[in-house]
Amino acid sequence: MENQTKQKLNRQNSGLDTKLPIKIVQFGGGNFMRGFTDYVIDKMNKEAGFNAGIVNLQATPNGSIQKMENQDNLYTLFNRGIKKDEIIDQKQIISSIQKSVNPYGNYEEFLALAKEEELEFIFSNTTETGIAYDENETSYEGPHKNFPAKVVVLLHERYKHFNGATDKGLRIIPCELIEDNAFTLRNIILKYAQLWNLEEGFVQWINQSNYFHNTLVDRIVPGYPKDDVESYEDQLDYEDQNMVVSETFLLFVIQEAGNLNERIPFNKINEQILVVDDIQPYRLRKVRILNGGHTLMLAPAILSGKELVKEAIDDQFIGKFLSDAIFNEVNQTLGLDEAELKDFAEEVFDRFRNPFIKHHLASIALYFVSKFKVRVIPSLLTYVETNGKLPLNLTFSLASLIRFYQGSFGEKALPLNDEEGIITKFKEIWMNEDYEKVAELALSEISFWDTDLTKVEGLKTAIAKALYEIDHNDTEIAYNNFVQFNS
């Protein structure tokens, strides 16, 4: 069917005209929320009888909800990826958003949401900078630009309308990628309550009748497929200006408070949604395996001539190198259930192999040293402490990073994209031609690692050997020679 003959997606022509009660206010309706939270709510509505409608709030004054309103807040979600070697390529219309509201253009409509009888949840994704205190928001009168300030007003209006009823508090579930996101948001809310001289009863109601759930979220949502839009349009028999593309993987870890699963049926749908007492082990797992996996394979892959994550993981050498590093070294350092770690790592490898997402290795090289410090060095040090020997894959990865910061390899310039001070320091280090000296200077640079790595027994000698091999052989041969030397 040609595009010009297609009807615009709306509730009437899609048969999705059932009205749902407003149970959720959502701050931020961008790609991630539509491919993550709204998808989860939609699935619970259809499979678990949750019967929950979402109000989508325009997050910034310069944003626009009109395109969503033009389609009755419907859109198509394409879930695409690999799961246990099987290609997943699915599409569905998401209908959980009931309306979109612009608090800057219609502030009264925003305030009226506080009076919704069945409202129970706030979800948000306002980027990492959204959960912040703005001392310039000195007045209760809105509209406010600051996200926590808007939440305070919504909660206070609800507190007043329902006379402080204990059963009218809300559950706040932020999805911003900062540690202790909900607790941080709560502290800023209380700070605004103090700044605006709001009544003590309201402060008590916040603390006693509302629940704040820290979260860890993980899903890649590229969003609208602008580079390949025609191939997606050809799959639809209607016109959709708001379609979203997402990977199939989804992880949602939520800190328990007040028997959450009794209020929202996360546990009744087949998704990796975990309501737990402590999310820190899951955060550590993600940082060390997913983020760490990207980081530790980066330099060996680029030195091997690879440009994409999928290309690297499909390579016989790099794929095995990363697998050995994760399964035989990193997983040993995490202190979590072995089977659970294995399952998670296998899912990570499926994500790396996703043929629908082009993830350039050069983009991972941004602030490479600081990423390596946080994501890989702790695994290396813990492995040494636990096993009394060096983890050879992690050590070779560190040596490859040091070689990467020489800036070129053969005839090829390498994609250095870091703080100028780090690049300059490595340039000074590589003025030395002796590999032992290069290893000593790089490992002892506390500004890189927050510690002196020359104190790790045998590491300096091992790094020097790896640097020599990398400069004199193909990367795979260099790795094999390095392993043989240290075995």
HEC string of 412-468? Answer: EECCCECCHHHHHHHHHHCCCCCHHHHHHHHHCCHHHHCCCHHHCCCHHHHHHHHHH
Both ends of the chain: CA-CA distance in Å?
Answer: 63
The contacts of residue 411 (CB under 8 Å, 6+ apart) are none
Find, among 312, 228, 299, 212, the residue nearest to 260 by Cα: 212
d(CA 486, CA 77): 50
Find, among 100, 383, 74, the residue nearest to 239 by Cα: 74
Please, what's the largest Cα pairwise distance for the chain? Answer: 76
Q: Can you read off the two tokens belonging to residue 71? A: 């389609």
Give the pLDDT means over successive 10-residue stretches in the chain (487 positions): 75 93 94 96 98 94 89 97 90 98 96 98 89 95 95 98 98 94 98 98 98 96 90 95 95 96 96 95 94 96 96 97 98 92 94 90 92 96 98 98 97 93 97 97 97 98 98 97 94
Q: Can you read off the two tokens belonging to residue 49? A: 């009888």
Strand order in the sheet with 215-218: 215-218, 251-255, 272-276
Segment 70-73 long-range contacts (CB within 8 Å, at least 24 positions apart): 70/8, 70/241, 71/8, 71/9, 71/10, 71/240, 71/241, 71/242, 72/9, 72/10, 72/11, 72/12, 73/97, 73/98, 73/99, 73/100
* Beta pairing partners, 273: 252
pLDDT of residue 4: 60
The contacts of residue 70 (CB under 8 Å, 6+ apart) are 8, 241
Q: Are strands 412-413 and 408-409 parallel, antiparallel or unpaired?
A: antiparallel
Q: Can you read off the two tokens belonging to residue 118? A: 């069945």
Q: Can you read off the two tokens belonging to residue 399? A: 């040596």
φ and ψ at residue 465, rounded to 5 degrees: -60, -45
Which single residue is written with the structure tokens 């390498």? Answer: 414
